[in-house]
């Protein structure tokens, strides 16, 4: 080993600290746990700055490892997990460097560190598989300060938007267990439901964004035949608690609650990337059959008179479905065009101006106008905003997924028909100009020109998706299934099973670690400690000097140390050059060495205490 490979003492720990700090960037300080983590990492850095002795640096390593664990509890995604792994490996290597005492090359240290991690892996696996989950940390605590963005907004007010700018930022990704995307016609991912209409704007329910109500979903029986309809979502940060879903799936995560309006809400907004798993259920979901409320029919009578008149003219038709068909015919016959630059609509009768004068707009205009017309025709209706379409991405490795961008944001209408419940209607599909560009944008982006960065991003997201599917996907439900399979009804045995698993893995891996450490050159390490100690006293080994000569020289300078030094030299010679010892004798020899070393340190300390103040003995 050349000295070039040996790092200065604290370099590895500093590296670990740097990686750890990097990992802290995504920590949400709104959580108690997040604050605690940040403080802990800061403490580790400060301690590392001042730590000179072994005990201090051990404490630093401990703080760093605990910090890694806390970060892992908060950021389970692929990239943060990789960072945490790197930090843990570096921190362990720093600790090993500290404990090995010798100047060991960093490569060897990293290898050893990885070996320790590998040895811990079976144990971690047992704990991961068997120990019952607790709910997500800090659920429901704190509120966001905003700053995140989506292509959706709380209020749908198409009249005030003169120009729609394409925003290609990613919004969400979803992978399907069947590895096949749903047919394009079914790719409507609902997020927000706007039920309140004031004549120009569509608003969400007043209590929206308050903590979602409703009981947590009961545990779904383990998927058997339905395993094919599993979805894993990764959503980008958003300031809404509502997240995209197909509307028919049920969440497996207790922090997700389907709402009566058909939104799927998190307990708190996702300020960082969230992932969750949904299970597609057969049969209509609960919200779909929920009868309409008064608010679903409210229409201000003092605005948009022409719209009201048109809607009422259809209201005379007895069959509600016939009223919808009449509206569709009307839309198709009027030559509406899709436009991203419709300009502002005049107040207060903006929808009248859109429907009867300009006849061009984007999805928001159509959904808004259609829903208002339906209300005028006496059919409960509302506007739903979310995403439509999406690009199906097949990366080189990892999982295939459907990519939703903010440019895929879409709005459509929902009407309530007796006996059929809430049904989605997309009036943008009736345009003369064909499919609206906003929905087509996503598909077009998959086209031939794909920048290298974009390509790389997609490959990474593929891996990310796979990680979420296989690693984060092992949640309470799956664990429940595994435990049921393992134990059947005898759940009381779970404790014993965990204990047995832990004992087995420890039994398997500990001897591995032990045998590895036994191969380490203990006398050599101990010798290095002694040499460092002597060096600290200003006694450097001269060229070609033997340990005997060195210790004699040291004893001449510090006569109090002669006895322990002589014993150390004898002990070292025996351990290093003596005939092979059996393990017991080797242990005894090491004890003798340790004892003499302690004696040496004590004597040295006493000598130091006496020398700086020689007058004290003779006042």
Partner 1 sequence: MAAPTTPQPAPQPTPQPSLDDLVAAVSQVLLGKQRSVRLALSCLLAGGHLLLEDLPGTGKTTLAEALARCFGLAFRRVSFTSDLLPADLTGINVLDPSSGSFRFQPGPLFSQVLLADEINRASPRTQSALLEAMATGRVSVDGTSHDLPRPFMVIATQNGLDQVGTAPLPESQLDRFLMRLSLGFPEREAERALLSGGALPLEAMASARTPADLLALQQRCRQQHSADSLLDYVLDLMGASRAVERPGAPLSPRASQALLAAARAWALLEGRPFVTPADVQAVFTAVAEHRLDPLGTGERSATLLGQVDAIR
For partner 1, which is the closer residue by CB, 391 or 530? 530
Contacting partner 1 (CB under 8 A), which of 61, 235, 550, 600?
Answer: 550
Contacting partner 1 (CB under 8 A), which of 317, 497, 541, 562?
Answer: 541
Which residues 6+ apart lie within 8 Å of 427 measured at CB?
328, 331, 366, 367, 369, 370, 412, 413
Q: Rounded to the nearest whole angstrom, what is the least distance from the CB of residue 525 to partner 1 in the complex? A: 13
CA distance 301 to 314: 17
For partner 1, which is the closer residue by CB, 40 or 589? 589
Q: For tokens 């992978």, name the residue.
A: 175
Q: Rounded to the nearest whole angstrom, what is the least distance from the CB of residue 600 to partner 1 in the complex? A: 15
The answer to whether the beta carbons of residues 432 and 335 sit under 8 Å apart is yes
- Length of the chain as a residue count: 619
Contacting partner 1 (CB under 8 A), which of 325, 333, 549, 594?
Answer: 549
Q: Rounded to the nearest whole angstrom, what is the least distance from the CB of residue 603 to partner 1 in the complex? A: 18
Stretch in the footprint of partner 1 (CB under 8 A) among 51-59, 140-148, 324-332, 581-589: 581-589
Q: Rounded to the nearest whole angstrom, what is the least distance from the CB of residue 526 to partner 1 in the complex? A: 12
The answer to whether the beta carbons of residues 533 and 601 sit under 8 Å apart is yes
527 touching partner 1, by CB under 8 A: yes
Beta-bridge partner residues of 233? 174, 276
How far lies 42's CA from each of 21, 39, 313, 381, in Å?
A: 8, 5, 69, 54
579 touching partner 1, by CB under 8 A: yes
Stretch in the footprint of partner 1 (CB under 8 A) among 19-27, 485-493, 548-556, 603-611: 548-556
243 touching partner 1, by CB under 8 A: no
CA distance 363 to 539: 83
Contacting partner 1 (CB under 8 A), which of 293, 570, 599, 607?
Answer: 570
Residues 585-614 that bind partner 1 (CB under 8 A): 585, 588-589, 592
Which residues 6+ apart lie within 8 Å of 247 measured at CB?
188, 190, 262, 285, 287, 288
CA distance 443 to 327: 29
How far lies 416's CA from each of 325, 413, 419, in Å?
A: 14, 10, 9
For partner 1, which is the closer residue by CB, 469 or 575? 575
Q: Rounded to the nearest whole angstrom, what is the least distance from the CB of residue 615 to partner 1 in the complex? A: 38
Stretch in the footprint of partner 1 (CB under 8 A) among 236-244, 251-259, 492-500, 563-571: 563-571
Which residues 6+ apart lie within 8 Å of 115 measured at CB?
513, 516
Stretch in the footprint of partner 1 (CB under 8 A) among 151-159, 264-272, 361-369, 570-578: 570-578
Residue 507 tokens, joined: 């039994």
CA distance 178 to 270: 27
Q: DSSP label at 164?
A: P
Contacting partner 1 (CB under 8 A), which of 215, 577, 611, 619?
Answer: 577
Binding mask 210-229 for partner 1 (x = CB under 8 A): --------------------
For partner 1, which is the closer residue by CB, 332 or 576? 576
Q: What are phi and psi of 439, to 5 degrees?
A: -75, -35
Residues in binding contact with partner 1, number by CB under 8 A: 28
CA distance 496 to 73: 26
For partner 1, which is the closer residue by CB, 315 or 524? 524
DSSP E strands in 373-452: the ranges are: 381-388, 391-393, 401-405, 409-417, 421-425
| Sign, Cα dihedral of 477, 479, 482, 485 | negative
For partner 1, which is the closer residue by CB, 531 or 607? 531
Residues 11-70 that bind partner 1 (CB under 8 A): none
Residues making contact with partner 1 (CB under 8 A): 524, 527, 531, 541, 543-550, 567, 570-571, 573-574, 576-582, 585, 588-589, 592
């Amino acid at each position: 080993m050349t000295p070039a490979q040996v790092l200065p003492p604290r370099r590895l720990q500093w590296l670990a600290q740097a990686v750890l700090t990097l990992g802290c960037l995504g920590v949400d300080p709104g959580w108690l746990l997040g604050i605690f983590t940040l403080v802990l990492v800061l403490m580790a850095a400060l301690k590392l700055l001042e730590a000179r002795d072994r005990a201090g640096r051990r404490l630093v390593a401990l703080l760093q490892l605990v910090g890694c664990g806390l970060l892992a509890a908060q950021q389970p995604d692929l990239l943060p997990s990789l960072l945490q792994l790197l930090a843990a490996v570096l921190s362990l290597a720093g600790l090993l460097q500290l404990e090995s005492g010798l100047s060991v090359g960093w490569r060897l240290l990293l290898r050893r560190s990885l070996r320790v991690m590998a040895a811990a892996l079976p144990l971690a696996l047992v704990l991961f598989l068997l120990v019952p989950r607790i709910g997500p940390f800090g659920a429901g605590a704190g509120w966001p300060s905003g700053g995140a963005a989506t292509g959706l907004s709380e209020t749908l007010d198409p009249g005030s938007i003169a120009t729609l700018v394409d925003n290609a930022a990613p919004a969400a990704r979803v992978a399907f267990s069947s590895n096949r995307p749903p047919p394009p016609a079914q790719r409507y991912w609902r997020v927000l439901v706007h039920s309140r209409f004031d004549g120009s704007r569509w608003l969400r329910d007043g209590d929206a964004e308050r903590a979602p109500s409703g009981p947590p979903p009961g545990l779904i029986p383990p998927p058997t035949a339905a395993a094919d309809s599993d979805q894993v979502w990764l959503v980008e940060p958003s300031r809404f608690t509502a997240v995209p879903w197909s509307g028919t799936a049920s969440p497996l995560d207790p922090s997700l609650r389907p709402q009566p309006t058909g939104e799927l809400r998190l307990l708190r907004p996702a300020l960082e990337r969230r992932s969750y798993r949904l299970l597609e259920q057969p049969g209509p979901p609960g919200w779909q059959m929920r009868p309409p409320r008064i608010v679903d029919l409210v229409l201000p009578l003092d605005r948009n008179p022409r719209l009201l008149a048109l809607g009422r003219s259809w209201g005379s038709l007895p069959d509600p479905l016939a009223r919808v068909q009449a509206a569709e015919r009307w839309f198709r016959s009027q030559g509406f065009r899709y436009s991203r630059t419709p300009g502002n609509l005049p107040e207060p009768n903006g929808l009248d101006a859109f429907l009867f004068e300009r006849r061009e707009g984007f999805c928001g205009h159509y959904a808004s106008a259609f829903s208002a017309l339906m209300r005028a025709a006496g059919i409960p209706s509302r506007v739903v905003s979310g995403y439509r379409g999406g690009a199906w991405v097949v990366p080189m490795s990892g999982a295939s997924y459907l990519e939703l961008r903010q440019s895929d944001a879409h709005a459509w209408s929902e009407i309530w028909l007796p006996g059929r419940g809430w049904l989605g209607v997309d009036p943008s599909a009736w345009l003369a100009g064909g499919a609206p560009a906003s929905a087509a944008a996503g598909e077009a982006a998959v086209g031939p020109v794909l920048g290298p960065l974009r390509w790389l991003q997609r490959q990474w997201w593929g891996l990310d998706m796979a990680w979420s599917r296989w690693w984060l996907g092992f949640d309470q439900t799956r664990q429940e299934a595994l435990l049921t399979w393992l134990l059947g009804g005898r759940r009381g045995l779970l404790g014993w099973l965990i204990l047995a698993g832990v004992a087995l893995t420890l039994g398997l891996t500990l001897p591995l670690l032990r045998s590895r450490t036994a191969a380490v050159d203990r006398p050599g390490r101990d010798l290095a400690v002694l040499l460092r100690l002597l060096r600290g006293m200003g006694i450097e080994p001269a060229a070609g000097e033997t340990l005997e000569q060195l210790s004699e020289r040291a004893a001449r300078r510090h006569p109090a140390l002669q006895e322990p030094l002589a014993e150390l030299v004898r002990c070292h010679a025996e351990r290093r050059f003596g005939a092979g010892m059996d393990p017991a004798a080797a242990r005894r020899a090491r004890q003798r060495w340790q004892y003499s070393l302690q004696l040496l340190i004590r004597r040295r300390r006493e000598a130091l205490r006496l020398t700086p103040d020689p007058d004290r003995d003779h006042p």
